[in-house]
Copies of this chain bind each other. A is one copy, B any other.
Amino acid sequence: MSKPDISNAEFDVLDVLWERNPASASDVVQTLSSHKEWHEKTIKTLLSRLVKKGVIGFEKQQRQYLYYPLIAREDYTAQEAESFVGKLFKGKITPLVAGFATQKTLSKDDVNELKALIAQWEEDND
């Protein structure tokens, strides 16, 4: 039972369901309408594909369906992060962080959060 691939377009739909769950197809359509130019039919297709892939489920509510995710965002991102970092950085996050550090995409707040993370890690692993 290998994790199904979730395409980019599918991800955007799934992401709505992670935010607002359960949601009808038209809820999703409405939510996405603010930042995507997708036709309603397109979104319905994506919902169907996610259902077929076993990524989301639904309950019949009269005539509409109410959809909900079957996987947690954290689990998904954890897996994706691991495979991404595995592929591009041999599994090490530090080069990734280093890239962000030099690329100027790191703020003082980010750095403080990182420090807190490290402090926590050290407390736990000692």
- A residues touching B (Cβ–Cβ < 8 Å)? 11, 74, 77-78, 80-82, 84-85, 87-89, 91-101, 103, 105-106, 108, 110-111, 113-115, 117-118, 120-122, 125
**Which residues of B are found within 8 Å of A84, using beta-carbon distances?**
80, 84
Min Cβ gap A106→B in Å is 6
CA distance A105 to B85 in the complex (A): 11
Copies in the complex: 2
6 contacts between A and B (CB under 8 A): A77-B89, A84-B84, A93-B96, A94-B117, A101-B120, A114-B118
Q: 17 more A-B contacts (CB under 8 A) besides A74-B99, A115-B118, A118-B118?
A: A77-B96, A78-B99, A80-B88, A81-B99, A81-B100, A84-B84, A91-B105, A93-B97, A93-B105, A93-B110, A94-B110, A94-B114, A97-B97, A97-B117, A106-B121, A108-B125, A111-B118
